[in-house]
Amino acid sequence: MKRGTGRSGSSAAPNSVDVARLAGVSQKTVSRVFNEEPYVSAEARRRVLEAADQLGYRRNNAARALASGRTRSIGVITLGTALYGPASLLMGVERVVRDTGYALRVVNTMEGDPAGLAGAVDSLLDQGVDGIVISEPIDEPGGEAGPLRVDVPVLVIGAPPPPLTSPALLTAGGGADLMAGAATEHLLGLGHVTVHHLAGPQRWFAAQDRLEGWRTTLISHGRDVPAVVEGDWSAASGYAAGREFAQDPEVTAVFAANDDMAIGLVRALTEAGRRVPDDVSVVGFDDIPVAAYVTPPLTTVRQPFDAVAHEGLKRLVHAIENPDTDPLPASAPPVDLVVRASTAPPRPTGTGR
Amino acid sequence: MKRGTGRSGSSAAPNSVDVARLAGVSQKTVSRVFNEEPYVSAEARRRVLEAADQLGYRRNNAARALASGRTRSIGVITLGTALYGPASLLMGVERVVRDTGYALRVVNTMEGDPAGLAGAVDSLLDQGVDGIVISEPIDEPGGEAGPLRVDVPVLVIGAPPPPLTSPALLTAGGGADLMAGAATEHLLGLGHVTVHHLAGPQRWFAAQDRLEGWRTTLISHGRDVPAVVEGDWSAASGYAAGREFAQDPEVTAVFAANDDMAIGLVRALTEAGRRVPDDVSVVGFDDIPVAAYVTPPLTTVRQPFDAVAHEGLKRLVHAIENPDTDPLPASAPPVDLVVRASTAPPRPTGTGR
DNA sequence: GTGAAAGCGCTAACAC
DNA sequence: GTGTTAGCGCTTTCAC
């Protein structure tokens, strides 16, 4: 323990009683000032602020949390990867959380983690948070025994709500299917007979959504739905898939579920003598910062990470602070296809239509 | 407030007294069980655990923190970007923090943030953390008025310790200068007369280090030190720099301070008719996942983010838990140059040596 | 406008 | 091995 001489301890952190004493007011008035409560005279406020400053006072959050039952913090569960999407989302979330006056606690779930989502939620609940953000969860095989019981509002980004009970269960970041659809339309619009898909790992909802949007679009245009090749988001897996696609002369257009895979894909295609976009068109997803600068510059779909984080968090905070009100409605994110040089009409030769 | 009927409140979260009552022991014994303290009979432990389970008891962290003075959490300050380096570091830190039984709190400092590092540290101290990690800080212009006073151990990753007083001030992740030196040596070893440098923003220590390693190596080999071009880490800035480099036929080798810029650089060079690596060799830094799959595959320096995070955190936790012991020593990270296809000997023509 | 009193749920000493 | 007694520094309630 640190406390020094007892009452007017000088070595340890000052508390509100110390401030009150120095300011010549009651402890409660100090509390009022720091909580910006009404009914404090200007004079009292001034004295308190001055005393606090002089002492280097800072409120003890543990005590506040204990007394009020609120921690003023939000926990976020991410996948623990430095992938552009998840990382961008996390940064967006941090910004909004801090702006709204909350603190951020972060917990990762590793892929293959036996405890998985349940363990992460538990850890956050243990720590004490007023709300939870689950960012891009994946389908863990070891299904939970019954739904998780969470007693704070939950926001799920980029996935349908998992089986959990919560005073408020919100979702954000939908629309990936529409975006994937737009990418597919673009390729079809260019004249390609059909579009192949290099999917992300199907345990990720984000990957499922994109696949779904692609497939739906193909079907609605009456096109064949070719077999899907599944990667793991990495450029390496895109490269491996690219070697397969390169074998098949029927492949003239590929929609990859993220830019990294698209880049690996382009490389494999190029190495195999299939030129992009002359022989094969490629569309990525995310619009990572280098997408415009690889060769050829990648046509891709830009994800509105910041907007999604912003809107989702606003709604979560609203749910936390207004437990009895209806949740705010979600709005659909815009679809933003960025056309660059990796897509072109198919060559008139060969498999014409 | 939630508390229901008073003593045996059934609607709100149960506390250790509830558990004690149900288990027929004292509250202190419940505390002992959950803290894994010695001197609890197997029978008492069993009863406590059973009662806790039945009630769905979970320790209240705010109360623990208040009573013990420790929050069992570590705060990390990052730059709020989804850049591969910072994001990888953050993920590495999260893993180790959780493994060591601490919770993670995250605060970003935006570039240009007036409050800057001081504001971030403050926010963490307000929240209450047992230790602070500052990941890749930058030199903010608005210098602080006097050194920051921090009363918990601090670990700085990738930079010299900023002016702050702390019971323990540790650093990790040095050695970027050696890595940059290795990249430069590689180019020199290939026969290039000198090596140009596409630097990162010099407000970043990480960028300063790399520049320093490059310059020192050039000097120690008695080579000219060409003017530095400064980018902002982005592929776009690398592209802009590349257009300049392309004008100058003397440029046969460029060391870029990160892979994104290297990729933009390669693109600009290629567009200008300067082939990579035939006309100009390029080395990047970081080894981002797509580096091996761009055209040409990028020679780069791999950064040991995980190892740095791991070692640094271990030392930080040691300092937190053993305040009176000497800090653990740091070890130098390995230098890992990954040679791929973006570097080659200079062409014999022209500016021979 | 302001203050006194009573906890929040736990850990820390110490006694038994 | 176990229980008792005090707080930790706030917020809350209610009285003035």
Minimum-distance residue to C11 (CA–C1'): B67
pLDDT digits (tens, 9 = 90+) for A270-285: 999 999 999 999 999 9
Whether residue B273 lies within 8 A of chain A, CB to CB, comes out as no
Under a CB-based contact definition with an 8 Å cutoff, are residues B186 and B342 in contact?
no
Query: Alpha helix locations (H) across chain A?
Result: 16-23, 27-34, 42-55, 61-68, 84-99, 116-127, 176-189, 205-220, 235-247, 259-271, 305-321
What band does B286 get if pLDDT is binned at 50, 70 and 90?
very high
Helix/strand/coil percent split, chain B, to 5: 40, 15, 45
Between A26-30, B269-273, B340-344, the lowest mean confidence (pLDDT) is in A26-30
| B27: nt with nearest C1' to CA | D3
Question: Would you say the C-beta of A43 is within 7 Å of strand C?
Answer: yes
The nearest CA of chain B is from the CA of A332 a distance in Å of 24
The nearest CA of chain A is from the CA of B205 a distance in Å of 21
Q: Could you say which residues from 189 to 208 on chain A have a Cβ atom under 8 Å away from some Cβ of chain B?
A: none
Question: Would you say the C-beta of B26 is within 7 Å of strand D?
Answer: yes
- Asked if B236's CB is within 8 angstroms of A292's CB, the reply is yes
Query: CB within 8 A of A352, min separation 6: which ones?
Result: none
Backbone angles phi, psi at B74, to 5 degrees: -125, 135
Q: Which residues of A touch B60 (CB under 8 A)?
A: 66, 128
Confidence (pTM): 0.91
The nearest CA of chain A is from the CA of B144 a distance in Å of 17
Between A21-35, A78-92, A103-117, B39-53, the lowest mean confidence (pLDDT) is in A103-117
Under a CB-based contact definition with an 8 Å cutoff, are residues B281 and B246 in contact?
no
Query: CB within 8 A of B148, min separation 6: which ones?
Result: B117, B118, B121, B162, B163, B164, B165
Under a CB-based contact definition with an 8 Å cutoff, are residues A109 and A116 in contact?
yes
Report the percentage of chain A scoring pLDDT > 70: 93
**pLDDT > 70? residue B4:** no
What band does B12 get if pLDDT is binned at 50, 70 and 90?
confident
Question: Would you say the C-beta of B91 is within 7 Å of strand C?
Answer: no
User: Around Cβ B5, how many Cβ atoms within 10 Å?
Assistant: 9
Q: Which residues of A touch B2 (CB under 8 A)?
A: 69
Under a CB-based contact definition with an 8 Å cutoff, are residues B200 and B207 in contact?
yes
Instruction: Choose from A293, A298, A300, A342 for mutation: most chain B CBs within 10 A.
Output: A293
Q: Could you say which residues from 239 to 258 on chain A have a Cβ atom under 8 Å away from some Cβ of chain B?
A: 239
| Strand C contact residues in chain B (25-84), C-beta within 7 Å | 27-28, 31, 34-35, 57, 59-60, 63-64, 66-68
Question: Would you say the C-beta of B15 is within 7 Å of strand D?
Answer: no
Under a CB-based contact definition with an 8 Å cutoff, are residues A185 and A214 in contact?
no
- Asked, as a colleague might, if the bond just before B296 is cis with ω within 30 of 0, I would say yes
Average pLDDT along chain B: 90
pLDDT digits (tens, 9 = 90+) for B186-220: 999 999 999 999 999 999 999 999 999 999 999 99
- Asked, as a colleague might, if the bond just before B277 is cis with ω within 30 of 0, I would say yes
Produce one character per residue of B6-17: b if its CB has 16 or more CB atoms within 10 Å, e if not: eeeeeeeebbbe
Instruction: Choose from A91, A121, A243 for mutation: most chain B CBs within 10 A.
Output: A91
Question: Would you say the C-beta of A72 is within 7 Å of strand D?
Answer: no
DSSP letters spanning B218-250: HHHTT---PPPEE--SSHHHHHHHHHHHHH-TT
| B66: nt with nearest C1' to CA | D8
* SS3 per residue for A119-142: HHHHHHHHHCCCEEEEECCECCCC
Question: Would you say the C-beta of B4 is within 7 Å of strand C?
Answer: no
Burial degree of B108 (CB within 10 A; 0-12, 13-18, 19+): buried
What band does A188 get if pLDDT is binned at 50, 70 and 90?
very high
- Extended strands (E) in B115-220: 131-135, 148-149, 154-157, 164-165, 169-172, 196-199
Backbone angles phi, psi at B101, to 5 degrees: 85, 15
| B28: nt with nearest C1' to CA | D3
> Which residue in the block uniquely carries the two structure tokens 């893993």?
B95
Which tokens is A43 given?
A: 């004079």
How many contacts does A have with B, using Cβ atoms within 8 A? 153
How are beta strands A103-108 and B103-108 bridged, if at all? antiparallel
Whether residue B292 lies within 8 A of chain A, CB to CB, comes out as yes
Which tokens is B185 given?
A: 């040596």
pLDDT digits (tens, 9 = 90+) for B80-112: 899 999 999 999 999 999 999 999 999 998 776
- Tell me the β-bridge partners of B196: B254
pLDDT digits (tens, 9 = 90+) for A257-314: 999 999 999 999 999 999 999 999 999 999 999 999 999 999 999 999 999 999 999 9
| Strand D contact residues in chain A (145-164), C-beta within 7 Å | none
Report the percentage of chain B scoring pLDDT > 90: 75
**pLDDT > 60? residue A351:** no
Which tokens is A160 given?
A: 């349908």
For residues A106 and B98, give the distance between their C-alpha atoms in angstroms, rounded to a whole number.
10
Produce one character per residue of A14-51: b if its CB has 16 or more CB atoms within 10 Å, e if not: bbbebbbbbbebeeebbbbbbeeeeebeeebbebbbeb
Average pLDDT along chain A: 91
User: Around Cβ A268, how many Cβ atoms within 10 Å?
Assistant: 21
Under a CB-based contact definition with an 8 Å cutoff, are residues B236 and B167 in contact?
no
Largest CA distance in chain B: 91
Backbone angles phi, psi at B155, to 5 degrees: -115, 125
Closest residue to A62, CB basis, from B66, B80, B81: B66
pLDDT digits (tens, 9 = 90+) for A9-37: 345 789 999 999 999 999 999 999 999 98
Q: Which residues of A touch B63 (CB under 8 A)?
A: 62, 66
| pLDDT of A13 | 86
pLDDT digits (tens, 9 = 90+) for B135-170: 988 877 655 567 888 999 999 999 888 888 999 999
- Tell me the β-bridge partners of A199: A230
Which tokens is A178 given?
A: 């529409």
Whether residue B126 lies within 8 A of chain A, CB to CB, comes out as yes
| Strand D contact residues in chain A (316-345), C-beta within 7 Å | none
Under a CB-based contact definition with an 8 Å cutoff, are residues A176 and A184 in contact?
no
The residue among B293, B216, B289, B222 whose CA lies nearest residue B255 is B216
Whether residue B301 lies within 8 A of chain A, CB to CB, comes out as no
Question: Would you say the C-beta of B262 is within 7 Å of strand D?
Answer: no
Taking CA atoms, what residue in B is nearest to A64?
Answer: B62
- Asked, as a colleague might, if the bond just before A329 is cis with ω within 30 of 0, I would say no
| pLDDT of B10 | 47
Taking CA atoms, what residue in B is nearest to A242?
Answer: B293
Question: Would you say the C-beta of B95 is within 7 Å of strand C?
Answer: no
What band does B75 get if pLDDT is binned at 50, 70 and 90?
very high
Opening angle at CA A35, ends A29 and A40, nearest 5: 40
| pLDDT of B1 | 35
**pLDDT > 50? residue B223:** yes
Whether residue B125 lies within 8 A of chain A, CB to CB, comes out as yes
Q: Could you say which residues from 134 to 193 on chain B have a Cβ atom under 8 Å away from some Cβ of chain A?
A: 151
**pLDDT > 70? residue A3:** no
**pLDDT > 50? residue B237:** yes
What band does B11 get if pLDDT is binned at 50, 70 and 90?
low
Whether residue B108 lies within 8 A of chain A, CB to CB, comes out as yes
Between A142-151, A192-201, A312-321, the lowest mean confidence (pLDDT) is in A142-151
Average confidence (pLDDT) over B67-89? 93
- Asked if B58's CB is within 8 angstroms of A235's CB, the reply is no
Which tokens is A165 given?
A: 């009970």
Average confidence (pLDDT) over B9-18? 76
**pLDDT > 90? residue A5:** no
| Strand D contact residues in chain A (30-69), C-beta within 7 Å | 31, 34-35, 57, 59-60, 63-64, 66-68
- Asked if A81's CB is within 8 angstroms of B91's CB, the reply is yes
- Asked if A108's CB is within 8 angstroms of B95's CB, the reply is yes
Q: Which residues of B touch A303 (CB under 8 A)?
A: none
Average confidence (pLDDT) over A98-106? 93
Under a CB-based contact definition with an 8 Å cutoff, are residues B153 and B131 in contact?
yes
One-letter amino acid of B251? V
Instruction: Choose from B15, B90, B91 for mutation: most chain A CBs within 10 A.
Output: B91
